[in-house]
Amino acid sequence: MGPIAKVPVKRGNQAVAEKSSSKTSLGRSSGGAAGSNSVVESHRQGMARSVVNMVLGSYAIVGDVRTRRHGPKWRECREMSELPPQTPDSHSTPNPDPRDRHRPGDAVSLGKRVWASPSDLTWSFSRGGGPGGQHVNKTSTRAELRVGLDALGGVHPEAVIRIRDQAGHLLVRSTDELRVVSDEHRSQHQNREACLNRLRTLIESCESKPKVRRKTRPTRASKERRLKHKKQQSEKKQNRRWKGSD
Contact residues for 202 (Cβ-Cβ < 8 A; gap 6+): 163, 166, 167, 170, 178
Which tens digit of pLDDT belongs to each residue from 73-131?
Answer: 666 666 665 555 555 444 444 455 545 557 778 888 888 888 999 999 999 998 877 66
pLDDT of residue 61: 44
Question: DSSP assignment, residue 186?
Answer: S
pTM over 0.85: no
Tens of pLDDT, residue by residue over 163-204, are 999 999 999 999 999 999 998 888 889 999 999 999 999 999
pLDDT tens digits for range 106-116: 888 888 888 99
Helices (H) and strands (E) in the chain, counts: 7, 6
Q: Domain coordinates of the chain in residue numbers? A: 45-78, 99-207
Alpha helices in 10-156 (DSSP H): 12-30, 32-56, 72-82, 134-138
Architecture of domain 99-207: 2-Layer Sandwich (3.30)
Are the C-beta atoms of residues 197 and 162 closer than 8 Å to each other? no
- For the chain, the average pLDDT equals 74
Pairing state between β 122-126 and 171-172: unpaired
CB of 178 closer than 8 Å to CB of 201: no
